[in-house]
Amino acid sequence: MKYLIFLIILFSSPLYAVDLVSSQYTCTHKDNDLFREVKIIYNDQGCEVTYTKAVGTVNEKTRTLWRAKNSIEYCDNKGYAFVEEKLQQKFGWVCIDQKNN
């Protein structure tokens, strides 16, 4: 019984919380040197959507576009809409979800 309680405490501790990448969109444009990546990440009880701009493998800039403390649905909706409506439809990027492909 002591071991069971120990394991429950160990694995429920936030020190061992692991971020889970739900979706990872990799986007390319006509110019092969341009690269964009959008990640929808679940963490603890919330989520975040990160956006990386890069030229090849250099000049990478990553920033968080959206973050929620108590909802993963919020990030799913915002991230998917950003990829579909802004990157693909508005700017002509071709995006593939590497996690759910």
**pTM, 2 dp:** 0.76
Range of the domain at 87: 17-97
Residue 57 has pLDDT above 80, yes or no: no
Characterize 52-90 residue by residue with b for buried, 16 or more Cβ atoms within 10 angstroms of its Cβ, and e for exposed.
eeeeeeeeeeeeeebebeeebebbbebbbebbeeebeee
- Looking at residue 34, its pLDDT comes to 86
Does residue 26 sit within a domain?
Answer: yes
- Looking at residue 11, its pLDDT comes to 45
101: confidence class by pLDDT, cuts 50, 70, 90: low
* E strand residue ranges, 1-101: 20-28, 34-43, 46-55, 58-68, 94-97
- Are 46 and 70 contacting, i.e. CB atoms less than 8 angstroms apart? yes
**Chain-wide mean pLDDT for the chain?**
82
Does residue 11 sit within a domain?
Answer: no
- Angular region, 54: left φ>0, alpha ψ -120 to 50, beta rest: beta
Residue 39 has pLDDT above 90, yes or no: yes
- Segment 12-23 mean pLDDT: 62
Does residue 7 sit within a domain?
Answer: no
- Are 71 and 48 contacting, i.e. CB atoms less than 8 angstroms apart? no
19: confidence class by pLDDT, cuts 50, 70, 90: confident
Residue 80 has pLDDT above 80, yes or no: yes
Does residue 1 sit within a domain?
Answer: no
**End-to-end CA gap in the chain:** 43
Does residue 44 sit within a domain?
Answer: yes
Domain count, the chain: 1
